[in-house]
Every structure is written in structure tokens, then in C-alpha cells.
Amino acid sequence: MQDVNVTQLSESDEQVFTWTVVANGEAETTRLARHLASFVGAGDLITLSGGLGVGKTSFARGLIRAVLRDPATEVPSPTFTLLQAYEGERFPLIHADLFRLQSRADLEALGWEEMSEDALVLVEWPERAGVDRAQDRLDVTLALSPSVVVKASDERIVTFTGFGGWRSRLRLVKAAFDLIAARGWKDAEREFIQGDASTRAYERLRRAGETAILMISPPRPDGPPLREGRPYSAIAKLAERADAFVAIAQGLAQMGYSSPKILGRDLDQGVLLIEDLGQEGVLDADGPIAERYALAADLLADLHRRDLAESLPIEDGREHSIPRYDLEALLVEVDLLNDWYAPHVLGSALPASARAEFARHWRAALVPIVTGPRSWTLRDFHSPNLLWLAHRAGLARLGLLDFQDAVIGHPAYDLASLLQDARVDVPAELELKLLAAYTLARKLADPKFDLGSFAAAYATLGAQRATKILGIFARLDRRDRKPQYLAHLPRLKKYLVRNLAHPALRDLKLWYETNLPSLFGAAR
């Protein structure tokens, strides 16, 4: 398969980006379709253009099977049925062949609007019903190569054209294709990896007994302005580019920790090829594996005793400045409870007076946090992002993932993240045992380590994190249509109530009892 041309069309058509590839036969055409499958989603429109017999249905078949994650799925041509529907795990798919239609009215009569809503739609012969005029779409045009006649080959010229929002996404598709090819993985088998609540996408690549991970993490677009014209992501200090992942990964590796090696990168587009640390985690069927959680706590104690840099090299002389987990960031996170969780359980928004009191109490509770000791806060240091590498030694047996949002914050945050895991029950006795082991290790390393203030910070940040995640999981249900996260709410409520019992949080506890009393009923 050869990438022969990349062009941006004329300035008068600046919302278009075109990428052309020569594919040698149906197998390579199908491989292109499978590559595209990593970048499509609900609501996308893909139009398939070209003459009879050039491989439009074969391309659609490869894409559909890849999205469904089932290479054996029967994908017949919709020439006679006109529309063929498939129910995917993430979204439905519609495959249409409009060759026999005469007008848009004929299409509407088939129930097009209802069927295509929130679906991935693939349309052959889109010009028959005006579908090709959609502003946001990806057009895939297939044509036989001139060498088919000269050399009796099976080459096809595949031209991708991104319109509107697909323009930038097609650049990402091409960047990933180029990176994989440049690193020798273009013929690899590919397996989609189900992420957690992340906006990033991951694939496992397999070739000749080797594996690697393709990480798709394009630059984060700004969300709606929240405060002083800044979006939530900027206020909460979330990473905007893949640079942060590369810098933190390299920094962790230099200290002997097992972060993934960076095998290839296109930082402008946000595509990384990284080491595959495997699939064995720190949980079994019964929950946390005590030995592995203990090693995770030991790793944090080791990390937090170090004098850590606040700026790390990326490449070519560029550096990543690790942001401070400041008061503003911590406060905007807890406000997610007011925005999403409170309406979820109350059926209406909290009054402005209650929100003002909430902010006042949280501000008072968090001032000792932001003026206290500081270290790297990896931020999502919990079971989904921890892997077990039995063949390595010492602290390197723990594989680390998903640290791109790392900040400079209080050491207690990551320990609370680990021992009050939002997705699995951590027994109270294990939490206390590892909390004691961590504080003992810190005390041995630094006799000035203050156990009392750390305990207060642990409770405060445990409550802050539980408050934030209650809001996030309610938002995932309401806004993102991911109701599965609601199953974790009872666990989070128990953690929150347990933390609020600390004397330092007396005023906050009273606020929660007054405004969200159901928290306490469920936790008892």
C-alpha cells in the first residue's frame, strides 16, 4: 500500500482536506477500511463514490466488520434492500446503496431520518438522493488504477476527502496511518481497546509475536467558556496535547518506574505508538490484590520522597511545564457535583445560596492543601491505569498508564485515588493497612513528615475526589449516554461519607447533610 499524494484543495474550498492512497487489491483496500474504523463514531456520514465494480461494498464491509469487532459478520450488499442496519456495541450502523433511488423523497420514505439518527452511516451512490451535499462528511472515492490495464494488476486508487469537521479528523487518520507504516506495523492485526471514561482511543497492534499500542490523543479542543472566558479543561489543568504524556512517561522511566516506552510519535496530530505493558492488572475476581495494591502504595511513597522537577523535556528542546493543582482547579472540580449530581438525585438545581455556601466551605478546606507539601500528582492513579508486570523487579513490577493530566499537587491525592478506588470496593481494613504503611515509609524517609496534617489532607482530598467523580459519573449518564457509570455511585457515596467524618471537614459534612441527605442514608 502506497501513500502517493496528500493535498489541501484550493483556498476557495478551505473546508476540505484530501488524502490519496494506492491500494494493491481488495486485501489492502479492506485494511484501509479497518484503519478508518478507529476514527468513526455515532452521527458520522461516510459517502462511498466510484463506478461499478471498484470495491465500494468491499470497503464498507471491511469498515463494518472492524467497527463491530467481528471479522465473520455477514455484510451483504444492500443493492436490493437499499438499507442494511447493524447494531454495534458503541453505536448502530447503516449501510445504504441508493443506486435505484430517484429522489430524496424516495429516501425519506424508507425511514432514513429515524434510522440514521445517532448512527454511523455509509452510503454508496450518495448523489442519487443529495446525500453527497452534507457539509460534514467523509467521502471515499475508489477508482481502478491505470496500471490495472497496463500491468493486469488489482490496484485501486482510494481518495479520502474530509469536508467540514472531517477535515481535521482526516489529518489524524493519515497521521496514524503514516506513523504505523513508518514503524513497520502497517500489516499488523488490530484490536480496539475499550477505554474507561476517556476521550482518547487505543488499539493493540499485533505482528509476529510482538505487540504495541496505538494511542490516539488529538489536541483537546476548547469547550464552552466557563469562567473569565476559559473552558473547564484549562481551569482544571487538563492536558491539551500528547506532549504531556510523552514528557511524564519519560520522566517516570528515568526514575525506574514502568511507564510505556514511546516507540513513535506525531505530537502535532496527537498520535503515539507506545510500548504494550500487557493486560494483567491489580484486581482479581474478588477485588484488589493486596500485594499489588501494597506495591502501588510503596511506589507513591518512593515518588513522594523525591525532589521532583516541575518542567520536563519533550523533544527538540521543547519542555512541558507541569501545572500546579491550584485552588481554582480543585474548586471547579467539586462544582461538578452541583452541576450534575445534585440535579440527578434532587430532580432540580440547588439554590444559589446553597452553592455559595458549598464554595465557601470547600475553599476553606482546600487552603491547607494548596499551601501544604507538593509532589507529582498523577491524578488517575487507580486500578484501570495500573498493570502488573511479574517479570520485572521491585517497583518496576507496576505498570503506569493515563498520567498525561499530572499536576504538581498534594501527595495525599494519589494515595486517596488508589485506596478509595471509584470502580472497585477497597476493603476498609486494606485501606487503613496501606495508609499506615505509606505514612511509615514517609516518616522513615523524612522524620519531619507530619502524620496529623497528612491524615487531614487525605480525608479532604478523598472527599474532594469523591465529590468530583459523583458529578462526572452523573454527567456521563446524562450528557454522554453512558449509564453504566451510575453503578459506582453507592461506592463513591460511602467513601465521601467516610471522609466527611474527619473533624477538619465538620462544616462541609453539615452542608452535605443539609443539602444532599440521601448520601448519608445510603452510606449507613
Please determine, for residue 10, whether its predicted confidence score (pLDDT) is greater than 50.
Answer: no
User: What predicted TM-score, i.e. pTM, was given to this entire model?
Assistant: 0.91
Residue type, 71: P
For 1, which DSSP code? Answer: -
Q: State how beta strands 137-144 and 155-163 pair.
A: antiparallel
Stronger pLDDT, 361 or 228, i.e. the higher one: 361
Q: Please, which residues bridge with residue 207 across strands?
A: 210
Residue 96 has phi, psi (to 5 degrees) of -120, 145
Q: How many CB atoms lie within 10 A of CB 357?
A: 18
Looking at residue 70, its pLDDT comes to: 92
Q: Counting Cβ atoms within 10 Å, is residue 156 exposed (0-12), middle (13-18) or buried (19+)?
A: buried
Cα–Cα distance measured from residue 425 to residue 237, given in angstroms and rounded to the nearest whole number: 28
Looking at residue 90, its pLDDT comes to: 85
Stronger pLDDT, 88 or 12, i.e. the higher one: 88
Query: Average pLDDT of 188-199?
Result: 77
Exposure letters 171-188 (e unless 16+ CB within 10 A, then b): bbbbbbbbbbeeeebbeb
Q: State how beta strands 92-97 and 83-87 pair.
A: antiparallel
Looking at residue 54, its pLDDT comes to: 86
What mean pLDDT is reported for the chain?
92
Please determine, for residue 406, whether its predicted confidence score (pLDDT) is greater than 60.
Answer: yes
Output the CA–CA distances (angstroms, integers) from residue 232 to 48, 197, 219, 329, 335, in the order listed. 38, 17, 15, 9, 11
Domains in the chain, start-ordered, CATH in brackets? 2-182 (3.40.50.300), 279-523 (3.90.1200.10)
Selection from 270, 255, 263, 267 nearest residue 201 by Cα: 270
Selection from 517, 458, 461 nearest residue 493 by Cα: 517
Query: Average pLDDT of 173-200?
Result: 87
Query: Average pLDDT of 245-263?
Result: 98
Work out the pLDDT band at 13, boundaries 50, 70, 90.
Answer: low
Please determine, for residue 522, whether its predicted confidence score (pLDDT) is greater than 90.
Answer: no
Work out the pLDDT band at 412, boundaries 50, 70, 90.
Answer: very high
Q: In 205-326, which residue ranges form alpha helices assigned H by DSSP? A: 232-235, 243-254, 290-304
| Signed CA dihedral, 94, 198, 189, 218: sign only | positive
Looking at residue 193, its pLDDT comes to: 87
Residue type, 323: P
Least confident of 56-65, 348-357, 375-384: 56-65
Which of left, alpha, beta for 77 (phi over 0: left; psi -120 to 50: alpha)? Answer: beta
Selection from 378, 186, 386 nearest residue 277 by Cα: 386
> pLDDT tens digits for 108-156?
787 777 888 889 999 998 888 777 777 899 999 999 877 654 455 678 8
Work out the pLDDT band at 7, boundaries 50, 70, 90.
Answer: very low
Cα–Cα distance measured from residue 172 to residue 175, given in angstroms and rounded to the nearest whole number: 5
Please determine, for residue 503, whether its predicted confidence score (pLDDT) is greater than 50.
Answer: yes
Looking at residue 6, its pLDDT comes to: 41
The DSSP-derived string for 321-339 is EPPB--HHHHHHHHHHIII
Residue 415 has phi, psi (to 5 degrees) of -65, -40
Looking at residue 255, its pLDDT comes to: 98
Instruction: Give the three-state DSSP class for 506.
Output: helix
Query: Average pLDDT of 446-460?
Result: 98
Output the CA–CA distances (angstroms, integers) from residue 21 to 181, 298, 460, in the order listed. 13, 50, 55
Cα–Cα distance measured from residue 314 to residue 219, given in angstroms and rounded to the nearest whole number: 16
> pLDDT tens digits for 155-179?
889 999 999 999 999 999 999 999 9
For 102, which DSSP code? Answer: -
> pLDDT tens digits for 48-103?
999 888 888 889 999 999 999 999 899 998 888 888 999 998 899 999 998 888 77
Q: Are 467 and 507 in contact (CB under 8 A)?
A: no
Q: In 214-289, which residue ranges form alpha helices assigned H by DSSP? A: 232-235, 243-254
Looking at residue 328, its pLDDT comes to: 98
Looking at residue 101, its pLDDT comes to: 83
| Signed CA dihedral, 358, 363, 368, 372: sign only | positive
